[in-house]
Amino acid sequence: MEFEKYKFNGVDKTNLPGFKYRKQLHRLKPPFLRGPIPLDWLQRAMRLGGTAISVGIVLWYYKGLKKSSIFKIGIQDIAGLIGRSWLTAKRGLIALERRGVISISRHQGRKHLIEIHEIDDEDTQISEKD
């Protein structure tokens, strides 16, 4: 067999699609949490205890991915990231919503539309009295 006719002689290998894909694989980075996350927000979520803080951190992670404070996310997505059941994730979402740090628009059969609220200094002073 003549292998010489299958060699890349004088061809620029960087323009081939397979080579570009390999370069992109080396650039993949592990997931990270984009900040800054306001300490007041975290303190309010920590006071709720349980999985509320875990759910809150997952929501901030998704906020960083979507680059918006309003985004869609499913209960199963949250449950998978915190390593708990969907019911536990749902309880954490409800606790955060009742505390006023997020708002949820629920739609039957679709992912929830979640908005993360920024906490003002006035809100923090009121919540400390609670």
Amino acid sitting at position 69: S
**What's the rounded Cα separation, in Å, for the pair 101 and 14?**
49
45 located within any domain: yes
- In this prediction, the residues of the chain whose per-residue pLDDT falls under 70 are 1, 3, 5-27, 121-130
What's the pLDDT tens digit per position in 12-44? Answer: 555 655 555 555 555 677 888 888 999 999 999
Encoding tokens for residue 15? 């323009």
- Cis peptide leading into 36, omega within 30 of 0? yes
Query: Does 125 fall in a domain?
Result: yes
Number of domains in the chain: 1
Domain that holds residue 65: 39-129
Q: Provide the CA 39 distance to its chain's centre, in angstroms.
A: 18
* Residue 98 lies inside a defined structural domain of this protein: yes
Per-residue model confidence (pLDDT) at position 1: 62
* Domain contains 73: yes
Judging by DSSP bridges, how do beta strands 70-73 and 112-116 pair with one another?
A: antiparallel
31 within some domain: no
**Residue 55's CATH number:** 1.10.10.10
